Chains A and B, each alone.
Chain A
Amino acid sequence: MTDAATFSIDDVTPKSAVRLSRPIVFAGFFIGLCLSFLLLSGDEQGRVNLLYLLFIFLVAPLAGLIISLFSLISGRGINFARLLSETPLLGVTRISVIRKLRQRHLDKHWFFLQSQYAVLAYSLASIITFGVLLLITDLNFVWRSTLLTAEHLLPALEVIALPWSFWESAQPTLALLQATQDSRLLGQYQAGSNFTLWWPFILATQLIYTLLLRGLLLLLSYFVIKRRIEADLEQQLSEQILRHHRHRPERYQLSDVERQLPADYALTNWAAFENTLLKELPIAVASDTELHAGPLASEHAQQQAENYHGMQLVLVKAWEPPMAELQDYLQHGQGLLYPVNYHNGRLQPIEDKHLEEWRRFTTDLPDWRVFQPDTHEGIA
């Protein structure tokens, strides 16, 4: 059981939602033990009223079941466990799982489930008490009534015994009823052994109407709660969150940036910048050798450029990512790549993310480095 002190952030799980509440179960067990012992002890002659037993082993559990089922379907879920939870001593209302279940509109189902646990504990306690008393003392089952006769009772008892019709010795008979009818005034008994013959019927009543029936309802409510918790919004979301892993941030190796131009190089205007822009570049464009390569160059010019083996300064658009066709071209030569940034015809300093992309690109090209002039005179 979880209380507020130990309740973690994790939501109620299908497992925790169906866990039994010990105080409620203990209360059921205790009531079953006391009530059974009280009634089965009988009087000083060991006479036990059969109709009283039917009340606590059949009528009361069945009536409780009908009320709690009806309340579960239509009302706020009044049942044994709900009533017990109102007792502050048990501390049941402090269980945070109830709050979680209330938020999911499953609290009445939870109390219904706990009721089944409690009635099963009640039934178990009764059966144990019954069994122990059968072993260690003589129980004489009698019935008394001012209005009812054996003929009146028999049909009702036969209906009750229908589920175990295969169990011959647990069936009620008219003869047995007549033989065990008691009158405190007359108190005349012909055959003492008759009075013990009711025990199989009592045991079968306990097994079928409390243990088995409540066991089935427990399983049913157990699976209903589990299924509904599994289908709950937060449960689904938690699973989705666990399934999705965050992508790790990317890390790349970056090559150094060259700040100085070599003494001699050929200029390759890969980006096909216009002459007006070339004049603005903060480099001395004194190169006599100009190569024509790039997407807009002719096939012939491109071929010529690819055959050049000296140092080159290749002008590229800084914002355009390096493409494979550039990489293919660079495989043939060596030199520097100069990513140029401009906006509305004016040179601009290169953006860090673009520079990084070019530096990353040149790590795979051992004969090439990125070039950026030290000062960008005239660049805004």
Chain B
Amino acid sequence: MKQSSVARFAVVGHPNKGKSSIVSTLSHNDEVRISSRSGTTERAETIAVSTSQGGYELIDTPGFQRPIKVLRWLTKNAPNASQRASTIARFIADPECQRQFPDEVELLTPIVNGAAILYVVDGSRPYGAEYEAEMEILRWTGQPSMALINPIESTDYVTQWENALSQYFKSVRVFNPMKAEFDKQVALLNTFAHLNPRWQRTLEATIEDMHGKRQQQKFHSVTLLARLVDDLCQHQQRQKVLTPEQASKIKPLLARQYKEWMKRREAQAVRELMAIYGHFQSEISVDQFDVPPDLFDCEQWFVWGLNRKQLVYAAAATGAVSGAALDLAVAGHSLMLGALGGGILGASGAWFGADKLADMSLQGLPVGGYEACYGPMKNRNFPYVVIGRFIHLYRQISQRNHASREDLLVSSGDFQQRVEALEDSSQKELHQACARLIKQKPVEHLEAVLAPLFD
């Protein structure tokens, strides 16, 4: 058996027990083909996970297809226990075996070449004695091994499997590739490190890199949100027209184009967010996760963004800040009436203007004619709505496993509590930034303002 400093794991087992799902989740790669049809994986495929300091390889293998016959061949050709590993090597090199047992040759080859064994079973279905042949074959290889119980539908038979597997494998773990969060994946990698002492240092470095990458992904998500909310708050749909009458005629068209643009822009940000986390196979439609589906449903904004009370508080806070600046400018001669007045004005504006959306304006052009302009959005809650929706998605996508190919379904979440939980200074910065955004003013260091919401 060959020895390598790169940790290599052959994921083996019965067909359709989630081998490819485990490879996909542990490699953070959703390009790995996962199918409900058995026998999808016909060739062993190596998925390399490389990080700056380390990395490892996962080998997705075809399932056992003729384990009984293979074990018979091995038993016939191995005179004693000391020659079992070499018999396996002979088995994979034998042209007749390659023809008769292509799947077993394919799955055993990486093991013979030094890969550790990750044997996968389904913990939601009862144990069967027919599995013993394949476990016996794996034992013959003499390679370090671990059994993973994948509770595909339930955990009903996990104990039964544990009892059986512990007789063949030193280490048995329950791992659901569809639901395992990042921490559980890391914990499993830590266990892998104990399979072969030569791999321990590399795997530890890899885990450290993975934590670093996780931080970087969060930082990139914040950047995406900062750009998204800036774009959506600034966007205007323009059209040159000859007369004001013509402008009023095209208003519905402009409004539709405006809304479509906004929705497309949001969908693009979600696709990019998924790409940050390496998800390329899930279908994303903003309409699918937007319940109710319309971004412009003002009533829902109090669910996705701030509620009316929070909104009034935010407006009062930012109004008071502007008023305080006035007080400062007149060196306190206003007896702090600026701050008070600004606060009251802001709060009442937020209360009464809570249903205000974008509207159309008309501007004369120097060369003649007019420019009809739909937008930008005037509603104070709008930036919060955009932020709230994005953060809710972020939380799901960042925890989503690469084996999961189901479409995203999202409902409103805990954004309001998140805002409440922010420190006072962070909360104030957020409100000030949103107030500037809705006035189409650039916000310096918007990423830094939004970052605490991602913690």
Interface residues of A (CB under 8 A from B): 3-5, 9, 89, 96, 99-100, 102-103, 233-234, 237-238, 240-241, 244, 246-247, 250, 252, 271-272, 294-296, 299, 317, 319-325, 328, 343-344, 353, 356-357, 360
**Least Cβ–Cβ distance between A361 and chain B, in angstroms:** 8
User: Could you list 9 further interchain pairs (A-B, Cβ under 8 angstroms) beyond the known A295-B129, A323-B15, A357-B38?
Assistant: A5-B236, A5-B237, A237-B276, A241-B271, A252-B37, A272-B129, A272-B130, A324-B65, A357-B37
A99 / chain B contacts, CB cutoff of 8 Å? 230-231, 234
Q: Which of A233, A246, A299 contacts B283 (CB 8 A)?
A: A246
Are B129 and A296 in contact (CB-based, < 8 A)? yes
Q: Which of A9, A103, A344, A353 contacts B268 (CB 8 A)?
A: A9
Cα A322 to Cα B130 with chains together (Å): 13
A4 / chain B contacts, CB cutoff of 8 Å? 234-238
Give B18-65 interface residues, CB cut-off 8 Å to A.
31, 33, 35-39, 63-65
B239 / chain A contacts, CB cutoff of 8 Å? 5
Give B231-266 interface residues, CB cut-off 8 Å to A.
231, 234-239, 261, 264-265
Check B292 for interface membership: any CB of A closer than 8 A.
no
Are A233 and B280 in contact (CB-based, < 8 A)? no
B220 / chain A contacts, CB cutoff of 8 Å? 233
B237 / chain A contacts, CB cutoff of 8 Å? 4-5
**Least Cβ–Cβ distance between B244 and chain A, in angstroms:** 18
A96 / chain B contacts, CB cutoff of 8 Å? 234
Are B68 and A241 in contact (CB-based, < 8 A)? no
Q: Which of B35, B66, B264, B265 contacts A323 (CB 8 A)?
A: B66
A selection of 29 A-B contacts at a CB cut-off of 8 Å is A3-B238, A4-B234, A4-B237, A5-B239, A9-B264, A99-B230, A102-B442, A103-B231, A234-B224, A238-B272, A240-B275, A241-B275, A244-B31, A244-B281, A246-B283, A272-B130, A295-B68, A296-B129, A317-B128, A320-B14, A320-B128, A321-B15, A321-B63, A323-B14, A323-B65, A323-B66, A324-B103, A344-B156, A356-B36
Contact with A along B72-83 (1 / 0, CB 8 A): 100000000000
Check B133 for interface membership: any CB of A closer than 8 A.
yes
Give B107-146 interface residues, CB cut-off 8 Å to A.
122, 125, 128-130, 133
Are B130 and A234 in contact (CB-based, < 8 A)? no
Please give me the residue from chain B that is nearest to A6 by CB atom: B238
**Least Cβ–Cβ distance between B227 and chain A, in angstroms:** 5
Check B10 for interface membership: any CB of A closer than 8 A.
no
**Least Cβ–Cβ distance between B428 and chain A, in angstroms:** 23
Contact with A along B90-119 (1 / 0, CB 8 A): 000000000000010000000000000000
A317 / chain B contacts, CB cutoff of 8 Å? 125, 128
Question: Which of B68, B220, B264 has the most chain A CB atoms inside 10 A of its CB?
Answer: B68
**Least Cβ–Cβ distance between A99 and chain B, in angstroms:** 6
B271 / chain A contacts, CB cutoff of 8 Å? 241
Q: Which 6 A-B pairs have the closest CB atoms?
A: A321-B38, A324-B65, A5-B238, A295-B130, A244-B280, A321-B16
Are B125 and A319 in contact (CB-based, < 8 A)? yes
Please give me the residue from chain A that is nearest to B279 by CB atom: A244
Given contacts A296-B129, A325-B66, contact A353 B38 (CB under 8 A): no
B35 / chain A contacts, CB cutoff of 8 Å? 250
B281 / chain A contacts, CB cutoff of 8 Å? 244, 246-247
Are A233 and B66 in contact (CB-based, < 8 A)? no
Cα A343 to Cα B153 with chains together (Å): 12
Please give me the residue from chain A that is nearest to B234 by CB atom: A99
Number of A-B contacts (CB under 8 A): 104
Given contacts A3-B238, A99-B230, A357-B37, contact A294 B130 (CB under 8 A): yes
A103 / chain B contacts, CB cutoff of 8 Å? 226-227, 230-231
B33 / chain A contacts, CB cutoff of 8 Å? 247
Check B426 for interface membership: any CB of A closer than 8 A.
no
Check B223 for interface membership: any CB of A closer than 8 A.
yes
**Least Cβ–Cβ distance between B450 and chain A, in angstroms:** 13
**Least Cβ–Cβ distance between B160 and chain A, in angstroms:** 11
Cα A357 to Cα B231 with chains together (Å): 48
Please give me the residue from chain B that is nearest to A107 by CB atom: B442
A240 / chain B contacts, CB cutoff of 8 Å? 275, 280
Cα A296 to Cα B133 with chains together (Å): 10
B395 / chain A contacts, CB cutoff of 8 Å? none
Please give me the residue from chain A that is nearest to B134 by CB atom: A295
Cα A322 to Cα B65 with chains together (Å): 9
Check B333 for interface membership: any CB of A closer than 8 A.
no
**Least Cβ–Cβ distance between B355 and chain A, in angstroms:** 25
Cα A323 to Cα B265 with chains together (Å): 47
Contact with A along B354-391 (1 / 0, CB 8 A): 00000000000010000000000000000000000000
Cα A168 to Cα B280 with chains together (Å): 66
Q: Which of A250, A252, A296 contacts B130 (CB 8 A)?
A: A296
**Least Cβ–Cβ distance between A225 and chain B, in angstroms:** 17
**Least Cβ–Cβ distance between A43 and chain B, in angstroms:** 37
Are B31 and A299 in contact (CB-based, < 8 A)? no
Cα A319 to Cα B271 with chains together (Å): 35
Are B236 and A357 in contact (CB-based, < 8 A)? no
Are A250 and B66 in contact (CB-based, < 8 A)? no
Are A233 and B156 in contact (CB-based, < 8 A)? no
Q: Which of B69, B223, B224 contacts A325 (CB 8 A)?
A: B69
A343 / chain B contacts, CB cutoff of 8 Å? 156
**Least Cβ–Cβ distance between B217 and chain A, in angstroms:** 11
**Least Cβ–Cβ distance between A107 and chain B, in angstroms:** 9
Cα A96 to Cα B72 with chains together (Å): 72
Please give me the residue from chain A that is nearest to B260 by CB atom: A9
Cα A50 to Cα B443 with chains together (Å): 48
Are B66 and A324 in contact (CB-based, < 8 A)? yes
Question: Which of A89, A237, A241, A250 has the most chain B CB atoms inside 10 A of its CB?
Answer: A237
Q: Which of A5, A299, A360 contacts B37 (CB 8 A)?
A: A360
Q: Which of A3, A9, A233, A357 contacts B224 (CB 8 A)?
A: A233
**Least Cβ–Cβ distance between A187 and chain B, in angstroms:** 48
Please give me the residue from chain A that is nearest to B17 by CB atom: A321
Are B37 and A250 in contact (CB-based, < 8 A)? yes
Given contacts A240-B275, A252-B37, A353-B36, contact A246 B227 (CB under 8 A): no
Cα A328 to Cα B276 with chains together (Å): 46
B223 / chain A contacts, CB cutoff of 8 Å? 233
**Least Cβ–Cβ distance between B271 and chain A, in angstroms:** 6
A323 / chain B contacts, CB cutoff of 8 Å? 14-15, 38, 63-66
Cα A357 to Cα B130 with chains together (Å): 20
B264 / chain A contacts, CB cutoff of 8 Å? 9
Cα A294 to Cα B281 with chains together (Å): 38
Cα A336 to Cα B261 with chains together (Å): 57
Q: Which of A237, A241, A246, A322 contacts B38 (CB 8 A)?
A: A322
Given contacts A103-B226, A233-B223, A360-B37, contact A325 B31 (CB under 8 A): no
Cα A21 to Cα B186 with chains together (Å): 51
Please give me the residue from chain A that is nearest to B372 by CB atom: A5
Cα A3 to Cα B234 with chains together (Å): 12
**Least Cβ–Cβ distance between A2 and chain B, in angstroms:** 12
Question: Which of A89, A103, A324 has the most chain B CB atoms inside 10 A of its CB?
Answer: A324
Given contacts A3-B238, A241-B272, contact A321 B39 (CB under 8 A): yes
Give B436-452 interface residues, CB cut-off 8 Å to A.
442
Cα A103 to Cα B445 with chains together (Å): 10
Please give me the residue from chain B that is nearest to A96 by CB atom: B234
Please give me the residue from chain A that is nearest to B102 by CB atom: A324
Are A9 and B130 in contact (CB-based, < 8 A)? no
Are A237 and B275 in contact (CB-based, < 8 A)? yes
Cα A296 to Cα B281 with chains together (Å): 40
Please give me the residue from chain B that is nearest to A270 by CB atom: B130
**Least Cβ–Cβ distance between B204 and chain A, in angstroms:** 28
